[in-house]
C-alpha cells in the first residue's frame, strides 16, 4: 500500500538542524495549516492544525538554509500514527501529528516587483 500526505501551510518557527550519529542531517520544524469557512450562521470560522515535520539528508540541510518562520511551504510525505494528548488547562483532547517529508517546496509569495513562486518553479529542494 502506498500512502502520501500533502500539506500547505506556514512555518510556525525557525527550522532546527541536527545531525544523526551517522552524520545524516535532520531538520525539524512545525507547520500550521489553516482552514477558513463560513458557518451556517454566517460567521467566519478558522481552524488551525499543526504538523511536526522532519526532513532528512541534503533536503533537510536545504530546508534549514532557505526556510524560516512564517514561510509558506508545501510538504509531501508520510504521516506517523498520531499521538493523542490531553491539554491540562482546558481538558480538551488533541493529537500530535508528525510528517516525515519526502519533498519540501517553498511557495514564495510575490512582492511588489516579484512574480509568485509556485510548486513547479526550480528551487534547490
Contact 60, 27 (CB under 8 A): yes
Q: What are the backbone dihedrals phi and psi of residue 115, each rounded to the nearest 5 degrees, phi first?
A: -85, 145
HSE of 8, CA atoms in CB hemisphere, 13 A: 6
Q: Where are the domains of the chain?
A: 5-106
Closest CA to 52 of 89, 25, 83: 83
Q: Shortest CA distance to 7 belongs to which of 28, 34, 26, 27?
A: 34
Is pTM beyond 0.85? Reply is no
pLDDT of residue 121: 40
| Beta bridge partners of residue 25, listed in sequence order | 19
List of the chain residues with pLDDT < 70 = 1-2, 83-87, 90-95, 109-125
63-85 tens-digit pLDDT = 999 999 999 999 999 988 776 66
Q: Which fold has domain 5-106?
A: OB fold (Dihydrolipoamide Acetyltransferase, E2P) (2.40.50)
Amino acid at each position: 500500500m502506498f500512502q502520501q500526505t500533502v500539506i500547505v501551510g506556514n512555518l510556525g518557527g525557525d527550522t532546527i538542524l541536527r545531525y544523526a550519529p551517522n552524520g545524516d542531517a535532520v531538520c525539524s520544524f512545525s507547520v500550521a495549516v489553516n482552514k477558513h469557512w463560513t458557518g451556517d450562521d454566517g460567521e467566519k470560522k478558522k481552524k488551525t492544525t499543526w504538523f511536526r515535520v522532519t526532513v532528512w539528508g541534503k533536503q533537510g540541510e536545504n530546508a534549514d538554509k532557505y526556510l524560516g518562520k512564517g514561510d509558506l511551504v508545501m510538504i509531501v510525505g508520510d504521516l506517523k500514527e498520531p499521538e493523542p494528548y490531553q491539554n491540562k488547562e482546558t481538558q480538551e483532547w488533541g493529537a500530535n501529528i508528525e510528517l516525515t517529508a519526502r519533498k519540501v517546496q517553498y511557495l514564495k509569495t510575490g512582492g511588489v516587483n516579484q512574480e509568485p513562486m509556485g510548486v513547479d518553479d526550480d528551487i534547490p529542494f
